[in-house]
Amino acid sequence: MARLSTYLFDLDGTLIDSIELIMSSFRHTMLTHRGAVPDDDDWRAGFGRPLRPQLARYARNADEVAGMVATYRAHNLQHHDRLVKPYAGIGPVVAELDDRGARLGIVTSKNRSAAEHGLRHCALDGYFDMLVTSDDVTEHKPHPAPVLAALSRLEARPEETVFIGDSPHDCEAGRAAGVSTAAALWGPFSRASLDPHGPDHWLERPEGILELR
């Protein structure tokens, strides 16, 4: 088996703890546009997908989708720095991988400006060689296209790459792209909900990333 040389990361729920912000922005958007808030679990099930198709499930037409996206993003930006933080232990792990000379990339369904803001705020922006965001591809997780784009940009071999994420969409996208997958159990998804998606590795804590082979 080839030794890992490339580490791809999801962002929200894997590197940065933005779950409270995401849920707060969703509830605010639903109250503003629909006057009621659907069950939290319904929104959580879409974690890992781009914002617009998630909100489209609740909208009556395209104009309302656009309004919901604007409301969500305004609330998200206003409260971002108060509610978002890196997961404990992530910073030193990423720094150690960088010191080892590993190639590091991010594959996220967030747009580029929001992803870059989150990385800067959490002091993680200096470590990653590239980002693939929702702005960069037309197919999104669980489709393999974002992971394949990251491999191409990094000139990385699938057999030497692991994709670390917290959601079923991450597991499915990584497997379809031919890389190994590692499920981050510090995010919002339980082991029971991730197990059917067959991750190659289970990570109880960020430090476990350094032990992947």
Helical segments of 37-184, H only: 40-44, 51-56, 62-83, 90-99, 112-121, 145-154, 168-177
Residues 7, 161: Cα–Cα separation, whole Å: 6
Helices (H) and strands (E) in the chain, counts: 9, 8
Tokens of 91: 């910073």
Helix, strand, coil shares, percent, the chain, to 5? 50, 15, 35
10 has catalytic annotation: yes
Cα separation values, 16 from 30, 32, 74, 130, 153, Å = 24, 27, 19, 17, 23
Strands 161-165 and 130-132: unpaired
Residues 172, 181: Cα–Cα separation, whole Å: 9
Residue 191's CB is within 10 A of a number of other CB atoms, namely 11
Total residues belonging to the chain: 213
Active-site hit among 10, 17, 166, 170: 10
Supply the residues annotated as catalytic.
Answer: 10
